[in-house]
C-alpha cells in the first residue's frame, strides 16, 4: 500500500502540473522512497528536509530556527532573511526557491540533487503559464534537460490551512564529477516560472573552491544573509571536515552591481571576510581573496536573494 500511495502522489503532481517541473524528461525516472521521508529525512517535521536546513544555515532540530513565528520552510521559500517585504503581514502569494544538495551513494561517490521548493497560495495547484529549468554559465543559458541526465526523483506535498499548498520536488542530476566535467568553475541552476501571472526567476549559485580538497576542489553555494550579502556554504557536511577550513567561521561576501543587461546582473565582490558564527559552517582560507571577483546572476540579483 505504501508503494501505491507513493506512486499515486507522484502521478497526481505530475499530471496536474506537468509544466510545474518540466517533468516530461523525468517521468520514467525511479521514484525515491519518500512517502514517509526516507529519501530526505526531516528531523523537526517542518517540511524543510535536513539537507536543505544545512544548505540554508537553519537548524534541523528546530522548526523555527530564529523563533520569529515563521517556520523554516516558509522562511526559506520566501527568502525572509534577505527580503523584508516578504515578511509583511497579510502577504500571501505563490513562491519558489531552488536549492542543491550532495548525497552519498553506495559506491562512495556523491549524487547531486536539485531541489524545487514551492508555496502555492490556496489549496489547489495554480496555473503555470511557464516553467523552464535551466543551467547558466557566465550568461550562457541552456535548458537543464539538454545538459544533464536524471536519476531518481522525489515528490512530496503538504496542505496547510494557513500557509497553502507546499510542494518539494527534487531531481538527481548526476554526480559531483559530472558537474566538474560539464561545467567547471561558476554556474547557476534555476528555473523561470510564470504562475497565475507572477513571473519569477529563481536559482542557486554554485562554485568550486580550488585548493581545498586536492585538485578536485569543493562545491559551495551562496546563501543570502542580508542586503547585497551572501555567504559561502559547502554543498555537503562532509566537505567541511577538511582541516584547511577555519572552524566556526563563515565567509561573508558583500557585492555591488557592476553591470546589468537582458541576461541579468554581473556583480563585483567588494568585501569578503571570515566572520564568527556558531553553526555547522566553515570558512575557506581563500575567502578574503575573492574581493574583486565577479558573480553573474541570470535574471538579476533576485534570482538568489528573492523579491522582485
Q: pLDDT tens across 48-69, in order?
A: 999 999 899 888 898 888 888 8
**Section 145-150 average pLDDT:** 76
Q: Into how many domains does the chain fold?
A: 1
Strand residues in the chain grouped as ranges (E): 95-104, 110-120, 128-137, 140-143, 153-160, 164-175, 186-195, 198-209, 218-226, 229-234, 246-247, 249-261, 264-276, 282-283, 294-298
- Buried b / exposed e over 225-248, threshold 16 CB at 10 Å, is beebbbbbbbbbeebbeeeebbee
pLDDT of residue 18: 39
Highest mean pLDDT among 211-220, 274-283, 295-304: 295-304
Per-residue cell: 64: 523555527
Task: List Cβ neighbours of 185 (8 Å cut-off, separation of 6 or more).
Answer: 137, 207, 208
Please report which residue ranges of 130-271 form alpha helices under DSSP H.
144-147, 176-182
User: Bigger pLDDT: 181 or 220?
Assistant: 220
**Section 96-108 average pLDDT:** 89
Q: Cα-atom radius of gyration of the chain, to the nearest Å?
A: 18
Sheet holding 294-298, edge to edge: 140-143, 128-137, 186-195, 198-209, 218-226, 229-234, 249-261, 264-276, 294-298
DSSP state of 54: H
Least trusted range by pLDDT, from 19-33, 111-125, 134-148, 233-247: 19-33
Residues facing residue 198 across a β-bridge: 195
Q: CA-CA distances (angstroms) from residue 76 to 64, 82, 119, 298? A: 11, 10, 10, 20
Per-residue cell: 173: 542530476
- Tell me the pLDDT band of 212, cut-offs 50, 70 and 90: low
**Section 14-38 average pLDDT:** 46
User: Bigger pLDDT: 18 or 140?
Assistant: 140
Statement: residue 216 has pLDDT above 90 = no
Statement: residue 215 has pLDDT above 70 = no
pLDDT of residue 46: 93
pLDDT of residue 124: 76
Calpha distance 94→78 (Å, rounded): 9
pLDDT of residue 29: 53
Least trusted range by pLDDT, from 11-20, 164-173, 184-193: 11-20
Q: Which of 18, 129, 82, 89 is nearest to 302 (CA)?
A: 82
- What phi and psi, each to the nearest 5 degrees, are found at residue 16? -80, -20
Per-residue cell: 41: 529525512
User: Bigger pLDDT: 44 or 248?
Assistant: 44
Q: CA-CA distances (angstroms) from residue 185 to 31, 100, 234, 264, 283? A: 31, 16, 14, 19, 18
CA 10 from chain centre, in angstroms, equals: 21
Mean pLDDT of the chain: 78
pLDDT of residue 183: 60
Residue range of the domain that includes 285: 2-305
pLDDT of residue 28: 52
**Section 145-166 average pLDDT:** 83
SS3 sequence of 16-47: HCCCCCCCCCCCCCCECCCCCCCCCCCCCCCC
Least trusted range by pLDDT, from 235-249, 277-291, 293-307: 235-249
Statement: residue 44 has pLDDT above 90 = yes
Amino acid at each position: 500500500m505504501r508503494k501505491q500511495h507513493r506512486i499515486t502522489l507522484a502521478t497526481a503532481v505530475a499530471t496536474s502540473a506537468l509544466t510545474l517541473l518540466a517533468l516530461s524528461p523525468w517521468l520514467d525516472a525511479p521514484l525515491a522512497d519518500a512517502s514517509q521521508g526516507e529519501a530526505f529525512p526531516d528531523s523537526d517535521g517542518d517540511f524543510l528536509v535536513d539537507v536543505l536546513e544545512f544548505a540554508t544555515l537553519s537548524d534541523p532540530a528546530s522548526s523555527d530556527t530564529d523563533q520569529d513565528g515563521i517556520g523554516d520552510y516558509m522562511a526559506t521559500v520566501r527568502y525572509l532573511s534577505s527580503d523584508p517585504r516578504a515578511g509583511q503581514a497579510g502577504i500571501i502569494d505563490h513562491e519558489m526557491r531552488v536549492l542543491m544538495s550532495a548525497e552519498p551513494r553506495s559506491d562512495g561517490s556523491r549524487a547531486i540533487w536539485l531541489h524545487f521548493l514551492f508555496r502555492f497560495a490556496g489549496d489547489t495547484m495554480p496555473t503555470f503559464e511557464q516553467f523552464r529549468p535551466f543551467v547558466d554559465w557566465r550568461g550562457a543559458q541552456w535548458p537543464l534537460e539538454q545538459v544533464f541526465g536524471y536519476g531518481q526523483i522525489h515528490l512530496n506535498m503538504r496542505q496547510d490551512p494557513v500557509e497553502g499548498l507546499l510542494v518539494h520536488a527534487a531531481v538527481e542530476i548526476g554526480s559531483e564529477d559530472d558537474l566538474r566535467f560539464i561545467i567547471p568553475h561558476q554556474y547557476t541552476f534555476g528555473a523561470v516560472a510564470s504562475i497565475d501571472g507572477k513571473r519569477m526567476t529563481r536559482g542557486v549559485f554554485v562554485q568550486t573552491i580550488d585548493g581545498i580538497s586536492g585538485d578536485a576542489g569543493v562545491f559551495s553555494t551562496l546563501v543570502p544573509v542580508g542586503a547585497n550579502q551572501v555567504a559561502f556554504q559547502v554543498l555537503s557536511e562532509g566537505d567541511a571536515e577538511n582541516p584547511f577550513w577555519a572552524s566556526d567561521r563563515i565567509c561573508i561576501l558583500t557585492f555591488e552591481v557592476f553591470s546589468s543587461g537582458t541576461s541579468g546582473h554581473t556583480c563585483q565582490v567588494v568585501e569578503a571576510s571570515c566572520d564568527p558564527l556558531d553553526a555547522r559552517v566553515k570558512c575557506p582560507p581563500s575567502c578574503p581573496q575573492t574581493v574583486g571577483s565577479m558573480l553573474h546572476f541570470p535574471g538579476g540579483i533576485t534570482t538568489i536573494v528573492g523579491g522582485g
